Structure 1
Amino acid sequence: MTASVGDSVVHSRYVPFSHAHYAGNLVDGAYSLGLFGDVATELCIRTDGDEGLFASYSDVQFLAPVRAGDCLEIAATLVRVGSRSREMEFEVRVTARGDAERGGSAADVLDPPVVATTARGVVVVPPAGG
């Protein structure tokens, strides 16, 4: 296993209504950050054979709402590889969303997807061979 710039992981997720906290079935921003932790963990396992530990986030941007009932893609891409640190770019994209005006279970695929949240983060992994 060798971490390389450009390595990436994408998860797909349905946002359950139990995660809605605000009017209009809005989900709090921390939900996206938790999803970033999930993709970062898988990326570290794939590149370093270890889950790693999150050290920091930077430049978190909440660009569009995430709502209960949304279908999401969550991406992590490795942008810098240090001896123990891994810097990643993250993106949450809304790929489908409910359409209550057409009916209670109606939904639309969003083409193109809506970028809802972006961030950069640093994860630390154990030293190679350790």
Structure 2
Amino acid sequence: MSGALVEGFAVTQRRYVPHSHAHYGGSLVDGAYGLGLFGDVATEMMIWTDGDEGLFAGYSTVEFLAPVQAGDVIEATGTIVRIGNRSREIQFEARVVCRANPDRGPSAADVLEPAIPVTRARGTVVVPQSVV
């Protein structure tokens, strides 16, 4: 264990959303895309804090705030907000930090300042008894 198991510890990952992930008109991506990112963030966080990938137990809240589009760059952050014996409650937020801008050209994109929040959630991850 690395000793990072404290409330407020955070992990952030970024990912480009490829056009192959668009499922709907307007190059929209399904809302579950952000939840997949949150799972990856939680996995990395548990490795840092507990030396084990842990197991995602569930979400207590999920909010879809804005659409995700093919060509976006998404930043997902998870922050530990509660530590139990084997459970870690995490607050998540995904934001679009870059977005394609086809009006300027087929490969044009813009950095978004401020970033656009697209998904928020709160979830619980548990680690095996052998880890604690």
State the TM-score, normalized to the length of structure 1: 0.96
Q: Aligned residue for 1:65?
A: 67
Change (3 A) 1:128 1:27: same
After TM superposition, give the deviation of residue 74 of structure 1 in Å.
Answer: 0.7
Percent sequence identity over aligned pairs:
62
Residues 56-101 of structure 1 show CA distances to partners (whole Å, capped at 9, x for unaligned) of 1021000011011001111010000000000000011100101111
Q: Aligned residue for 2:34?
A: 32
| 2:126 equivalent to 1:124 | yes
Q: Distance in 2 between matches of 1:50 and 1:106?
A: 40
Q: CA RMSD in A?
A: 1.1
| 2:80 equivalent to 1:114 | no
Which residues of structure 1 form unaligned runs of 5+? none
Correspondence list, 1:96-111, <5 A: 96-111=98-113
Q: Distance in 2 between matches of 1:5 and 1:34?
A: 23
Change (3 A) 1:36 1:58: same
Q: 4+ residue stretches of structure 1 with deviation over 2 A? A: 127-130
Letter in 2 for 1:105: S
Q: Is the 8 A contact 2:52 2:131 kept in 1?
A: no
Q: Aligned residue for 2:57?
A: 55
After TM superposition, give the deviation of residue 102 of structure 1 in Å.
Answer: 1.2
Q: Distance in 2 between matches of 1:128 and 1:53?
A: 13
Which residues of structure 2 form unaligned runs of 5+? none
What SS class does the counterpart of residue 69 from structure 1 fall into?
coil
What SS class does the counterpart of residue 69 from structure 2 fall into?
coil
Q: Is the 8 A contact 2:77 2:92 kept in 1?
A: yes
| 2:81 equivalent to 1:83 | no
Letter in 2 for 1:50: D
Q: Is the 8 A contact 1:83 1:127 kept in 2?
A: no
Q: 1:4 aligns with which of 3, 6, 18?
A: 6
Q: Aligned residue for 2:47?
A: 45
After TM superposition, give the deviation of residue 128 of structure 1 in Å.
Answer: 5.8
